[in-house]
Amino acid sequence: MVPTPLAGPWSLDIVTSDAALRKLLHGLPGVDQVGAEARAAALATRSIKREAKMWALEMAIAMIDLTTLEGSDTPGKVAAMCAKARRPDPADPEVPPVAAVCVYPDLVGAAIGHLAGSPVAVASVATAFPSGRASMKVKLADVRDALDAGAQEIDMVIDRGAFLSGRYGQVYEEVRAVREAAGSALLKVILETGELATYDNVQRAAWLAMLAGADFVKTSTGKVAPASTRPVAVVLLAAARDFLHASGRRVGVKVAGGIRTAKEAIAYLVIARETAGEDWLSPTALRIGASTLLNDLLMQRAKQLTGVYSGRDHFSID
Amino acid sequence: MSEPTGRAEVRRTCKLFVGGAFPRSESGRSYVVSAADGTPLANAALASRKDARDAVVAARGALFGWAGATAYNRGQVLYRVAEMLEGRRAQLAAEVGLAEGLRPAAARRAVDASVDRLVWYAGWADKVAQVLGASNPVAGPYFNFSVPEPTGVVVVLAPQKSSLLGLVSVLAPVVVTGNTAVVVASEDRPVPAVSFAEALATGDVPAGVVNVLTGRTAELAPVLAGHMDVDGIDITGAPYRAREELERLAAANLKRVLALDDVPETQPTLRRTRAFVEIKTVWHPVGT
């Protein structure tokens, strides 16, 4: 039985005030913490072998937002990353390109030229990433800056302080404003679940972002521990599934931060398949924000193809 | 069975030693180990290829720190392991005696020789460079040095017969120069190797520098020989008929392969140490 807190034709009119949002978000069915953790743990033990593993590895590669978000980033590093994004394994053209590269707004320009003519999108973090502590004016300028440089996807952060103090209307308006500023660009809303304290809050933040027009809800900035966890992915994917039932609009989920091994990535694929359904097994509905993960996926793929365990010396360092 | 004493015997679980921890096999398997006279001794963990993979990951992770430690420090750590073994001589002698069917005096001699051998190699830690390295005469205003550097992650298939002395004789020369090791213990006589791993864990050996697997050599050796993240392999413990295949697998990433027939029972040598170092030669201008 899928809970449908928003039965009937979808209308944004009902969620314009703090009070209405509070009523809606606090009316969502509570998340069973023990159940979500047990479910995530059980799904993570599922064994994926042979053809299914090969499929999962290549799907995970195609879902990656290859990310570099360091203060020490340079145009050179971004160029190298773009080359890797287009063709992850130079020795094997069968490996699909990743979904996108994810950089700071000032490096969008550096990335865009290297990805021309490729299916790889350029995503930019914006709105005073990672803290989100700036005025709305600055946040919107940040977004426009990234879009002007050519970004096709925007990863915004929500104001966790406002969310945790119950100022849902403010968070909603911020996401709405960025949604409008972003235009046709894909909008991913970073909830920073590591700062939200409870799964109920994660679910509320996800609904809030989805109501406000997010194309993706994303777990973390990668700057806060814990980053993406499997139970949080269960909660987000369940919320995305319920939102589809309630509104008819599919929202994707992006897990990011701390995902370094193929095994973990495949666990997220299993969770997506079992929680939200097969439709989420696509780069249009599930993304993985990562950098070192790509090499592990390539190594595991090589293991599947050659039968021997591969070594990291055989792949480019990133 | 021992005499009834009114006390429940606390039995030891023989586990693997990977990354400084003692996990059971990922596969959940174990196998019965028998004494030389056929009586069951223990259930040892039967390592799978995934345990081998995990051990290589642990060894690779430990390489930077171990290879970067000063030679003096490595020597001290190995000496510390000898100290740990010294205190366990009685236990080790009993286990070696049972595993190899030796009389108590012979078992004690084997254990003493193992401890002494470890000390012998520990002493070489800061002397290897003087023996294997060189200052080369060149026709120009340069200093020219050759210095030994560790090869990297080295797999050691320990001798099948000599359960402790054999193990120490093949392992110590590999790790003394800064390599990290994945050791596959004697298949039928793994108990002394497990005790040796417990001594390593209580010594100052950093986690992952030595990883000890117990199980079927025929199952683990091809996986490790073919592993692209392994830099060298000592196939002493593999049967002759398996060696050609192991060398073929090892060639895929140009591993250094050592296939000496004998395990030096009497005198240790530097041959095994020499096999797993790379000689780096550097030119340095004179006077700057």
Asked, for residue A190, whether it belongs to a domain, the answer is yes
Per-residue confidence (pLDDT) for residue A4, from 0 to 100: 47
Q: Which of B56, B153, B155, B229 to mutate to test the interface with A (most CBs of A within 10 A)?
A: B229
The answer to the question of residue B43 being in a domain is: yes
pLDDT tens sequence across A178-220: 999 999 999 999 999 999 999 999 999 999 999 999 999 999 9
pLDDT value at residue A15 = 59
| Residue B22: inside a domain | no
Residues 6 or more apart from B64 whose CB is under 8 A from it? none
- Residue B5: per-residue pLDDT: 76
A9 alpha-carbon distance from chain centroid: 28
**How many domains is chain B partitioned into structurally?**
1
| pLDDT, tens digit, 9 for 90 and up, residues B209-234 | 999 999 999 999 999 999 999 999 99
Q: Which residue of A has its CA nearest to B52?
A: A309
Which pLDDT score is estimated for A316? Answer: 87
Nearest residue in A to B226, CA atom: A308
Q: Which long-range contacts (CB under 8 A, 24 or more apart) does B258-261 make?
A: B258/B232, B258/B233, B258/B234, B259/B234, B259/B235, B260/B234, B260/B236, B261/B236
Write down the pTM of the prediction: 0.87
Q: Is residue B150 part of a domain?
A: yes
Mean per-residue pLDDT over chain A, rounded: 93
Banded model confidence at residue A262, pLDDT cuts 50, 70, 90:
very high
CATH number at residue A134: 3.20.20.70
Contact by Cβ (8 Å): A25, A168: yes
> In angstroms, rounded to a whole number, what is the distance separating the alpha carbons of residues B285 and B288?
6
H/E stretch holding A126: strand A121-126
Q: Using the predicted structure, report yes or no on whether residue B1 has a pLDDT greater than 70.
A: no
Find the mean pLDDT for residues B85-109.
96
CA-based R_g, chain B, Å: 20
Judge whether B21 lies within some domain: no
Output the six-digit token pair for A81.
Answer: 């990353």
Q: Are A216 and A287 in contact (CB under 8 A)?
A: yes
The whole domain housing A139 covers 26-306
* Tally of domains within chain A: 1
Q: Is pLDDT of A88 > 80?
A: yes
The answer as to whether B90 is a domain residue is: yes
Residue range A89-117, pLDDT digits in tens: 999 999 999 999 999 999 999 999 999 99
Q: In the prediction, which pLDDT does B6 show?
A: 86
| CA-only gyration radius of chain A, Å | 19
What's residue B213's pLDDT? 98
The answer to whether position A246 is within a domain reads yes
- Asked if residue B15 is part of any domain, the answer here is no
Q: Is residue A32 part of a domain?
A: yes
Q: What is the pLDDT of residues B19-74, one digit of tens each?
A: 999 999 999 999 999 999 999 999 999 999 999 999 999 999 999 999 999 999 99
Average pLDDT over residues A45-74: 95
Kindly report the nearest CA distance between residue B251 and chain A, in angstroms: 12
Task: Tell me the pLDDT of chain B averaged across its residues.
Answer: 94
Q: Which residues of A168-189 are buried (b: 16+ CB within 10 A; e: fewer)?
A: bbbbbebbebbbebbeebbbbb
Report if residue A268 sits inside a domain: yes
In this structure, chain B runs to a length of: 288
Burial category of B218 from C-beta neighbours within 10 Å (exposed 0-12, middle 13-18, buried 19 and up): exposed
pLDDT tens profile B145-201: 999 999 999 999 999 999 999 999 999 999 999 999 999 999 999 999 999 999 999
Q: From chain A, which residues contact B within 8 Å (Cβ)?
A: 302, 307-314
pLDDT given for residue A14 in this prediction:
55
Residue carrying the six token digits 């042979």: A50
**Closest listed residue to residue B264, CA positions, set B182, B168, B180:** B168
Q: Report the distance separating Cα B21 and Cα B131, nearest Å.
A: 35
- Higher local confidence (pLDDT), A43 or A19: A43
Compare all CA atoms of chain A with the CA of B229 and give the residue at the minimum distance: A311
CA distance B285 to B141: 6
**Catalytic amino acids of A?**
155, 218, 254
C-beta of residue B173 within 8 angstroms of C-beta of residue B146: no
* Confidence label for B264 from pLDDT (cuts 50, 70 and 90): low
Residue carrying the six token digits 């193809």 = A305
Q: So what's the pLDDT on residue A10?
A: 45
A60 burial level (CB within 10 Å; 0-12, 13-18, 19+) = buried
| Confidence band for B246, pLDDT divided at 50, 70 and 90 | very high
pLDDT of residue A9: 39
A-chain CB neighbours of B228 within 8 Å are 302, 308-311, 313-314
Q: In this predicted model, what pLDDT tens digit does every residue of A279-301 receive, in sequence order?
A: 999 999 999 999 999 999 999 99
We report the CATH number of the domain holding residue B62 as 3.40.605.10
Task: Note whether A243 and A209 are within 8 A (CB).
Answer: no
Domain assignment of residue B251, given as a range: 30-285
One-letter amino acid at A107 equals L
Q: What is the mean pLDDT of residues B252-277?
A: 87
Query: Are B223 and A309 an interchain contact pair (Cβ–Cβ within 8 Å)?
Result: yes
Q: B53, B57, B151, B228: best mutation site toward chain A, by most A Cβ within 10 Å?
A: B228
Q: Which residues of A touch B253 (CB under 8 A)?
A: 311
Query: Nearest C-alpha of chain A: how many angstroms from B186?
Result: 23
- Six-digit token pair at A308? 């021997």
Q: What is the pLDDT of residue B267?
A: 83
Q: At residue A150, what is the residue type?
A: G
What gap in Å lies between CA B209 and CA B193, rounded to an integer? Answer: 15
Unique residue bearing structure tokens 């952060």: A157
